[in-house]
Amino acid sequence: MDEFSWLYGKPSCQGRIKVEPEDFIVKENLGFEFAGAGEHFMVKIRKTGENTKYVVNELAKACGVKSRDVSWAGLKDRYAVTEQWLSVHLPGKPDPDLAQFVAEHPGVEVLETSRHDKKLRPGDLAGNWFQLRLTELDQAQEVVARIEKVAEHGVPNYFGEQRFGRGGNNVVKARAWGNDEFRVRDKSKRSFYLSAARSWLFNMVLSSRIEQQKVHTLMAGDSLEVKGDDRATIVEQVTEQLQHDVARGMAAITAPMMGDNALPTTLEAEAFEMAVVEQEPLLLKLIRDNRMRHERRPLLLKPEQMAWQQDVNSVTVSFALPAGCFATAVVRELMVEREVENKEDNHANPDQ
């Protein structure tokens, strides 16, 4: 991630995050109500230091079903305290007693249950609420000053390092696959590598716009997301009104999630985007060979409900993010994580 530009310059403060699971709290917001009846038994869990897929497998055993009968809206970090809903397909069966399941798994609590007429699917959530405790800060006041900037102006909407695998391995593998060095038949690996390829190219375009001071400034041909309008707006001519809409948050400049179809951008914006992504010809080839469809993603991310509190050399900050956005993108603008020898990889699962 050090290859990508910071919106407010690289932080000078060093610190740590996730020293304890309680330093990273995530609460899922599905954004819809359950029907109260149906084939699917809904279970809201709070897990501490546990992997989502492990909990899914154990819950399946407790409910007497196969793991494939349990689904979720989003994976959550292992080294954290996280709350999320799981759905268990139990047609024609009563709600199971989960007392023994809870007793055998001290890192898991059952907070609530319900019934619904549809199973949860990946992506079936509005977003997540985070509470993060940043500790061992050598310049806590600088972190607070940066939080104030983030609250007002947002952060780059980068895909976090966990999207790219340990040491960026998913991107390395994606390049090799694009170079026809091997074939990938496993569906999950295909998904990881393709997702990493598209995310890396998006981050490159975003970083370049920050570097050239064009992240807040419209280019001719830009593709905008306008509030209240599901259709993208192409900027045929940059006007003061359009620039004002972007500044007020009524419209968002987007960058490409590359596909095999042509960019919707035109003129200066199209030339800019292509000049960046063509620096990774193997990733482009892989995306096109697999017939990925082009999508757009806003350049900037503005956390909601942002609050913070300083305590000597630590800062606790909370905020809400929409689905698909990364808490690590916020933390990256606040501090540099201090390297710790033999530190466990605490970012194996996406915090999105």
- Catalytic residue list: 77
**End-to-end alpha-carbon separation of the chain, Å?**
17
Compute the distance between CA of residue 109 and CA of residue 102 in angstroms, rounded to an integer.
6
Listed as own residue / partner, the contacts of 276-280 with beta carbons closer than 8 Å and 24 or more positions apart are 276/201, 276/204, 276/205, 276/208, 277/201, 277/204, 277/205, 279/204, 280/175, 280/197, 280/200, 280/201, 280/204
Beta bridge partners of 344: none
Cβ atoms of residues 272 and 219 within 8 Å:
yes
CA 278 to chain centre: 25
Residue-wise DSSP of 226-258: ETT-SS-EE-SS--HHHHHHHHTTSEEEEEEE-
Token pair, residue 204, equals 């490159």
- Which helix or strand (DSSP H or E) is residue 108 part of? strand 108-116
Report d(CA 314, CA 139) in Å as an integer: 9
What is the H or E stretch that residue 43 is in? strand 40-48
| The dihedral formed by the CA atoms of 51, 53, 59 and 61, expressed in degrees to the nearest 10 | -120
